[in-house]
Amino acid sequence: MRLFLLPALLAGLIPSLAMAASEPMVSYTVQADDTLWQLSGQWFRRPASWPEVARLNHLANPNRLTPGQTLKLPLRLLKPENVPATLSLVEGQVLLDGQPAVAGTPVRAGQKVQAEANSSAVVRLGDGSRASLPPDSTLELAQHQRYQLRAAQPADDGNSLYAATLRLLRGTLEVLATKVQRAKPLEVTTPTAVIGVRGTRYRVHADATQPRTQTEVLEGRVWAQTQAQPPAQAELAAGQGAVLRNGSPVQPRPLAPAPDLSTVPARFERPLLRFTVPDTGAPLRVQIAADGDFLRIVRDVTVPAGTEARIAGLDDGAWFLRARQVAEDGLEGLDATHPFQLKARPEPPPSTTPRPAARLSVGTVALAWLRNPDAARYHVQLARDNGFTQIMAQQDTLTDTGLTLALDTPGRYHWRLASERADGDRGPWGDAQSFELRPLPEPPSVLTGEDGQIHLSWSARPDERQEVQLARDAQFGSLVTSAELQGGEWTLPALPVPGTYYFRYRYVDDQGFVSPWTAPLGVDVPVDWHMLLLGVPLLLTL
């Protein structure tokens, strides 16, 4: 008889044990004064389920529980409560079911959270997990239930278990799942995949126009499966990702390494951020956030491979940059982060005079700029080098929009401007402008040759052409002749009328710079007695 009953008993126990081993279970630590009947009445869907719990836990006396004893409770027997999650952070324009939302707003099952462009949001779940929505992403809270095991205690005292499902409708979802016991694994679903975890950090991407889902695991492990029947599934470890498509196997692969951000400046001084990173051959997803955890993301752009990143519209202050490679199939790699400061305001005023790279004559040089409405004072620096180590002039209390300097040394000069508010807040130096001072024309030398001709010469550069004028008056109102020369030498033409003539010249360089005229030089043209003597015989015959 015993031999007959033992197989029968085993046959009855094996299905129960197999079911208990495969179905979700909740562990509960018995407290003082707990009874199985009391627990059943508080937590079970049907209080009469307590005998099954007693059998499952091999309780010899269901009416006697020992404090500290651990009970295994099938999740299917427990009574859940629908509770809201919390919209814990709002940055920019965030909508809850299409209406503007603020931080602290409850998010109930079936509601949608939408982060618009340059905006982000964080949904905090009851177990402390958080779901971060970067710009241009939409999330639906599909399920958020609590299994409260101590009704008299606060909901977050550790005696409550949660079951949550997040449905990603568009964009990206970044999940930080706390390492706590849950009623069931936290799930993220898309139209093509289900991603489940118990404690990890990972990303999920969904595109309504593409029948695929991407996931990347940053910490811990996740399991992923497609929505197709039968589903394809795989387990992914930290540093792995996969692209999930219905009808295709799930193939985990290593994530691309983090890009090198060491060349990105630690301080930017222009409203438009411009930077490049070493080319990896892949596009980069670049994000800017107000916090190092990247919950308050305000910019999210994809930069083509090998091109310059440009980000505008940020306020002055401390920011955080994050970048990662994007593979051809959309899978995103490991993150590189970089903190930086932006100090671009008050902006330097735009310069007006002299124009960039202008050529001027030595002497008085006028610097001018437009007024900045935010500025009460202006700073000006003038240097002989573009690194501004050889400062020639500096003014720090200018209230006008111009400055005149006397500069007598030829060469290249560099100058820059900065603005200062009335409260003393000084902005960065603007981009340096340069100009070149050219020397004044040198006075010519006069030489009379043996033939009586008058030769004028002066120093001239090969890249200049010379313009010369000869007149009967010092005001050059009565011009006798003019010419354009390639060198610094000119022979006066034969002049029929003797007397004093006036000469001047100026040079024009290959950039179109025209120097001032030299001071008038008086040149005496004597009487040509040789020509007069030739006429004496004619006079004697008269």
Residue 79 pLDDT class (50, 70, 90 cuts): confident
Q: What is the CATH number of the domain that holds 244?
A: 2.60.120.1440
152 shares its domain with 241: yes
Annotate 267-299 with DSSP letters as a single string. EE-SSSEEE-----SS-EEEEEESSTTS-SEEE
Cβ–Cβ under 8 Å, residues 132 and 294 = yes
464 and 383 in one domain? no
Let me know if residue 525 belongs to a domain. yes
CA proximity to 285, closest of 319, 325, 318: 325
Q: Is residue 8 part of a domain?
A: no
- The H or E element spanning position 162 is strand 160-176
Give the mean model confidence (pLDDT) for residues 64-75: 89
In the predicted model, what is the mean pLDDT of residues 143-163?
68
Residues 431 and 486 occupy one common structural domain = no
* Residue 268 pLDDT grade (very low, low, confident, very high; cuts 50, 70, 90): very high
In a domain, 410, yes or no: yes
Q: Are residues 403 and 331 in the same domain?
A: no
The pLDDT of residue 536 is above 90: no
Mean pLDDT score, 154-165: 70
Mean pLDDT highest for which of 77-86, 208-217, 334-343? 334-343
Residue 375 sits in a domain whose CATH number is 2.60.40.10
Shared domain for 90 and 228, answered yes or no, is yes
**pLDDT at res. 153:** 42
Q: Which of 131-145, 371-385, 515-529 has the lowest mean pLDDT?
A: 515-529
Does residue 534 belong to any structural domain of this protein?
A: no
**Is pLDDT at 318 greater than 50 in this prediction?**
yes
Q: Which long-range contacts (CB under 8 A, 24 or more apart) does 116-119 make?
A: 116/92, 117/93, 118/92, 118/93, 118/298, 118/299, 118/300, 118/313, 119/91, 119/92, 119/93, 119/94, 119/298
Residue 13 has pLDDT above 80, yes or no: no
Q: How confident is the model at residue 322, as a pLDDT? A: 98
Q: Is the peptide bond before 74 cis (omega within 30 degrees of 0)?
A: no
Is the confidence at residue 369, as pLDDT, over 90?
yes
* Assigned domain for 5 exists: no
Site of tokens 């289900």? 194
Using pLDDT thresholds of 50, 70 and 90, give the confidence band for residue 147. Answer: confident
Lowest mean pLDDT among 155-159, 316-320, 376-380: 155-159
**Do 163 and 198 fall within a single domain?**
yes
Taking 60 as the threshold, does the pLDDT of residue 432 lie above it? Answer: yes
Name 458's Cβ contacts closer than 8 Å, sequence gap at least 6: 441, 442, 443, 444, 445, 488, 489, 505
Of 77, 94, 110, the last residue of a domain is 77
What per-residue confidence (pLDDT) applies to 149? 67
Residue 33 backbone zone (phi > 0: left; psi -120 to 50: alpha; other: beta)? left
Does the structure show a pLDDT above 80 at 525?
A: yes
Last residue of a domain, one of 438, 454, 485: 438
Determine the pLDDT at residue 27: 79
Pairing of strands 240-244, 253-254: antiparallel
> Does residue 121 share a domain with residue 49?
no
Which residues constitute the domain of residue 467?
Answer: 445-529
201 & 92 share domain: yes
Do residue 111 and residue 188 come from a single domain?
yes
Is 148 found in the same domain as 206? yes
Give the pLDDT score at 496. Answer: 82
Query: What is the pLDDT averaged over residues 27-37?
Result: 87
Look at residues 342, 363, 388 and tell me which one is the last residue of a structural domain.
342
**Segment among 177-186, 251-260, 329-338, 359-368 with least mean pLDDT:** 177-186
In this structure, the answer to whether residues 364 and 412 fall within a common structural domain is yes
Examine the domain organization and report whether 362 and 331 are in the same domain: no
Measure the CA–CA gap between 537 and 153, rounded to whole angstroms: 142
Q: How far apart are CA 107 and CA 113, in angstroms?
A: 8
Check whether 11 has a pLDDT greater than 50. no
Total count of domains within the chain: 5
Q: Encode pLDDT of 383-399 as tens digits.
A: 999 999 999 999 999 99
Gap between the Cα atoms of 390 and 386, Å rounded:
9
Tell me whether residue 4 is in a domain: no
pLDDT of residue 73: 87
Max Cα-Cα span within the chain: 180
Output the pLDDT for position 2: 27
Is there a domain that residue 1 lies in?
no
pLDDT surpasses 60 at 6: no
Residue of 99, 145, 96, 97 lying closest to 122 (CA atoms): 96
List the beta strands (DSSP E) in 40-158.
70-74, 81-82, 85-91, 94-96, 99-100, 105-107, 112-115, 120-124, 130-133, 137-148
Task: For residue 514, give both structure tokens.
Answer: 């025209």
Residue 117: inside a domain, yes or no?
yes
Q: What is the mean pLDDT of the chain?
A: 89
- Confidence grade of residue 362 (pLDDT, cut at 50, 70, 90): very high
- Cα–Cα distance for residue pair 7/13, rounded to 1 Å: 10
Of 321 and 33, more confident = 321
